[in-house]
Amino acid sequence: MFQNLANAIINADELQDQTKGRYKRPKSAPTKCKTSQDQALYDRILGQVNLARVDRFYNGQDPTHGALNFNLRGTGSTGNLFNAPEHPISTQNGPFNNSFTQGGLPATGVFVNTYYNTLWRTIQKPL
């Protein structure tokens, strides 16, 4: 799952660079966390991003096939992001348990999806 999220973020970063800012990727979380538990999770995710970058560099691997967006869903829905035809699903992982239920997601049955953006995908360079 972290590899899919990492690749979606990397894809969006690269597209933003390639388009000289015409494509604006979604904002990411800050690099410093309020608690040591959150920082440990952030560091774990950062490690997965670095693994994804190495895998892409040496093996040309992107399990999302160019996805630019991701979200967390409280169901196993594979519908398009924002119900928009230009945002079809690329990958889905789950179900997962959720310890942060104040964010609107249930305690169980959470899925992590990545999505293409067909409006921008045509200008992406191949890996």
Query: What are the tens digits of pLDDT across the range 60-72?
Result: 888 898 899 999 9
Tell me, yes or no, whether 27 lies in a domain: yes
pLDDT digit string, tens, across residues 86-123: 999 999 999 999 988 888 999 999 999 999 888 775 54
Which pLDDT score, from 0 to 100, does residue 94 have?
95
- Residue 105 counted as domain residue: yes
Taking the C-alpha atoms of residue 93 and residue 110, their distance in angstroms, rounded to an integer, is 9
φ, ψ (nearest 5 deg) of residue 50: -65, -40
Number of domains in the chain: 1
Q: What is the token pair recorded at 23?
A: 């494509």
Q: To 10 degrees, the CA torsion angle through 102, 5, 18, 16?
A: 0
**51 within a domain of the structure (yes/no):** yes
3-state DSSP call for residue 109? coil
Q: Residue 107 phi/psi, 5° resolution?
A: -70, -25
Residue with tokens 């970058």: 53
Is 127 inside any structural domain?
A: no
- Dihedral sign for Cα 60, 62, 63, 66, please: negative
pTM: 0.78
Query: Quick check: is 58 in a domain?
Result: yes
Hey, what amino acid is at 17? D
Domain boundaries, position 117: 2-121
Q: Does residue 26 lie in a domain region?
A: yes
